[in-house]
Amino acid sequence: MTGKTLAEKLLSEKSGTDARAGDYVEAEIDVAMAHDITGPLAFQTFHEVAGEDADLFAPDRTIFTIDHHAPADGVQAANNHNAVRDFAAKHGANQFDVGDGICHAVLVEEGFVSPGDLVIGADSHSTTYGGLGAFGTGVGSTDLGTALASGELWFRVPQTMRFEVDGDLQDGVYAKDLILRFIGDVGFDGCTYKAAEYAGSTIESLPIHERLVLSNMAIEMGGKTGLVAPDDRTAAYLERQTGNEIDLDDAFRSDDDADYESVHTYDAAELAPQVSKPSNPENAVDVTDVEGTEIDQLFVGTCTNGRYEDIKIVADILEGETLAPNVRMVVVPASKSVYRHMLNTGVFQTLTDAGAVIQNAGCGPCAGYHQGVLGDGDVCLATANRNFPGREGSMESNVYLASPATVGASALYGEITDPRNIQTNRYDDTIFAEVLP
Amino acid sequence: MTDSNTTSGGTNPSDPARAWVFGDNIDTDQITPSRFIVSSDPDELAQHAFEDLRPEFSDSVEPGDFVVAGENFGSGSSREHSPLSLVGAGVSGVVAQSFARIFFRNAINLGLPVLICPGADAIDDGDEIHMDLDTGIVVNHTKDEQYDAEALPEFLQSLVEQGGLKAYTKAKLGR
């Protein structure tokens, strides 16, 4: 028998079986999450399955957020918010309200996720938690509602596609560029029903916020989860966030003789900044191929790249500068703590002085809900994860995806610009000492 | 599995009806534009199904009709609103060359029959088709053809036989 992948080990542990790719298992859930869009439907399921007054499987490990239409942009959204508040209060679950931030940022920052956990979220980007070595995966409301009652859910154990990256990234090149390249290479559905695993010396050198970017966008290639094996950096990050000591002795990593579906190797030094052209994340090209494309709106935020480190990169580029006259910029911090950090470090002032609009923490314009919707013919360059037709508004608008550095550089010129032509400080520089690892 | 051909919407995928054909990579935003997903009501969601992509869909779809698509149908969000909007529209099943994982799972959980059918690209918009869930065959009455689909894995079949995830969980909890 060959060794096991990280995904197989995680699901073996949680199901109490010798789980191998292709097996169907019932596994115990550690953490469950839903937000203002997916929560109300899950509550209906929970009531139907368990009854109105039943107990949640683990209220202390159940988290509800109000982040997608926050603050409410209409009566129905406001009613959804109230449904979340009422359910959380009645059942004693954790609840984060308007302005607290995006579910994925909140769960990570607040220390709800630990290496080895099985985390389900009623949001497709729940793959994010794989950046901490947890099996994070997105599910629908029926799945979530039943799991809130039973604490278990069925899973097909996925095969693993391994992405191995070695070497040093060029200045101006980030995890976002890596994941856009991976998606471009394997395709929008190239990892469907499978786990992505990111490994190699480049990945090991990435700080946690960058690993989360890789895991977040695993879903954009269809991935069930996107895993980075937990290491000392993971432990240090979590100890800082939670104050608790993390024991990595029990943490998993893939065996040397694990059976992968495929292995994809990359030389980090060869990677240029990437831009995904409309209207699919798989349309990734070198930034040089689309340089000069005129832009109307820049959007910095989302569960992919709305962390402090991301926004700091943009602020450093815009320090003392102003936006190109033809563009508007919307900045949406991923969480309240990011917002506060922006205020305390002067990033807020820098961006405002440059002409950016800064919104409350939340999902903002990512899916065209509100606060930055695109009109006919608008072109947006976004740090987001999706650029589907009409994603941020009009079906006649176009969204390009890129790293915060590419968005910041492009803001200076009003057209897509190679960030390598601009001074960009890497995250291992002293400027990030306050937020590393 | 005597009831497997009857969906929760009261439509029967073994009855022939028209196919609404879509292309590759139809994501959840295109199935249900995100501006409408503040509602969780199947009937209300159905009024906006495919609204930006095929505005005539919601007015013209008849209970029992089928949705047919290419690769990666239902990619994107985990929102169950998308399969729910099709249930609300009375769609009796979805045939696609491949599905995004969460959509496939959500559809099964909601009792919306889904078949992975590599030959689905032979079906044209407006063709009259039906699904045979027991044999995993899609029949095209207009063209007098039939296409093999992938049978549901044993585990999922047993889940369906037990009445779906809600019924399964209720039984497990002893309710």
Kindly provide the b/e burial profile for residues A153-164, where b requires at least 16 CB atoms within 10 angstroms of the residue's own CB: bbbbbbbbbbbb
How is residue A147 written in tokens?
């799991």
H helix and E strand count, chain B: 7, 7
> Which chain B residues are closer than 8 Å to A24 by Cβ?
153, 155
Contact yes or no for A139 and B30 at CB 8 A: no
Judged by CB atoms closer than 8 Å, whether chains meet at B109 and A192 is answered as no
**Which value, to the nearest 10 degrees, does the dihedral of the CA atoms of residues A402, A404, A410, A414 take?**
90
CB proximity list for A270: less than 8 A, separation 6 or greater: none
Asked if the C-beta of B78 comes within 8 angstroms of chain A's C-beta atoms, the answer is yes
DSSP alpha helix (H) spans, A170-224 = 175-186, 201-204, 208-216
**Which residues in chain B are closer than 8 Å to A37, comparing Cβ atoms?**
37-38, 79, 81
CB spacing of B110 vs A369 below 8 angstroms: no
Helices (H), ranges, A246-301: 287-290
10-residue stretch averages of pLDDT, chain A, 437 residues long: 95 98 97 97 96 96 98 96 98 98 97 97 98 98 97 97 97 97 97 97 97 98 98 94 86 95 98 98 98 98 97 96 97 97 96 98 93 96 96 96 98 96 58 45
Q: Using an 8 Å Cβ cutoff, are A121 and B145 in contact? A: no
Separation in Å, CA of A244 to nearest CA in chain B: 32
| Rounded Cα gap, residues A24 and A224, in angstroms | 14
Interface of A with B in 31-60 (CB under 8 A): 37-38, 40-41, 44-45, 48-51
CB contact under 8 A, A369 and B35: yes
Nearest CA of chain A to the CA of B110: how many Å? 8
Partners of B35 in beta bridges: none
The pLDDT assigned to B154 comes to 84
- Number of neighbouring beta carbons within 10 Å of residue A14: 22
pLDDT the model gives residue A270: 98
C-alpha angle B128-B98-A164 in degrees, rounded to nearest 5: 170
Phi, psi of A431 (to 5 degrees): -60, -25
Binding-site sequence positions of A: 303, 363, 366
**Which residues neighbour A87 within 8 Å (Cβ) at sequence distance 6 or greater?**
A39, A43, A64, A93
List the single residue in A with minimal CA-CA distance to B73: A189
**Contacts A390 to B, Cβ<8 Å:** 29-30, 33, 52
Q: Which of A143, A149, A280 sits opposite B105 (nearest CB)?
A: A143
Q: What is the average per-residue pLDDT within B28-40? A: 91
Domains observed in chain A: 4-265 (3.30.499.10), 274-423 (3.30.499.10)
CB of A396 less than 8 A from some CB of B: no
* Pair B83, B103: CB distance under 8 Å: yes
CA B46 vs CA B7, B33, B51, B83, B84: distances in Å: 16, 11, 9, 10, 8
Q: How far is Cα A241 from Cα A245, in angstroms, rounded to an integer?
A: 10
Residue B165, pLDDT > 70, answer yes
Yes or no, beta carbons of A124 and B172 under 8 Å apart: no
| Residue B10 binned pLDDT confidence (cut-offs 50, 70, 90) | low
Contact A76 B38 (CB under 8 A): yes
* Secondary structure of residue A329 in the 3-state scheme: strand
With CB atoms and an 8 Å threshold, state whether A395 touches B169: no
Element of type H or E holding B17 = strand B17-21
Please name the member of B35, B39, B80 whose beta carbon is closest to the beta carbon of A140: B80
User: What single-letter amino acid sits at A212?
Assistant: L
Residues at the binding site of A for [4Fe-4S] cluster are 303, 363, 366
Q: What is the mean pLDDT of residues B20-32?
A: 96
Q: What's chain B's length in residues?
A: 175
CA distance A27 to A79: 33
Which residues in chain B touch residue A186, judged by CB atoms under 8 angstroms apart? none
Residue A80 sits at the chain B interface (C-beta within 8 Å): yes
- Domains assigned to chain B: 15-171 (3.20.19.10)
| Euclidean distance between CA atoms A340 and A71, whole angstroms | 18
Q: What is the pLDDT of residue A430?
A: 42
Compute chain A's Rg from CA coordinates.
Answer: 21
Residue A267 CB neighbours (<10 A): 12
pLDDT, averaged across chain B: 91
Q: Which two tokens stand for residue A407?
A: 């968005």
Instruction: Residue B84: list chain A partners with CB under 8 A.
Output: 41
pLDDT at B61 over 60: yes
Q: Mind telling me how many Å the CA of B41 is from chain A's nearest CA?
A: 9
What is the ipTM score, two decimals?
0.90
* B141 Cβ contact list (under 8 Å, min separation 6): B16, B127, B128, B129, B130
pLDDT of residue A425: 53
DSSP state of A182: H
Chain B nearest C-alpha distance from A208 (Å): 24
Q: In what order do the strands lie in the sheet with A379-382?
A: A284-286, A274-276, A398-401, A379-382, A297-300, A328-331, A357-358
Q: How many CB atoms lie within 10 A of CB A16?
A: 11
- A267: which 2 tokens? 């030389």
Give the closest of B27, B153, B155 to A388, CB-based.
Answer: B27
H or E, element range at A225: strand A225-227
- Substitution target in B39, B50, B77 with the highest count of A β-carbons within 10 Å is B77
**Cα(A103)–Cα(B76) distance, rounded to whole angstroms?**
17
Which residues of chain B make contact with A367, given a CB cutoff of 8 A?
29, 34, 77
Check if A22 contacts B (Cβ < 8 Å): no
Alpha helices in A57-194 (DSSP H): 75-91, 103-109, 141-150, 175-186
pLDDT band at B111 (very low <50, low <70, confident <90, very high): confident
CA nearest neighbour of B97 among B69, B125, B63? B69
Asked if B119 contacts B68 with a C-beta cutoff of 8 angstroms, the reply is: no
Percent of chain B exceeding pLDDT 70 equals: 94
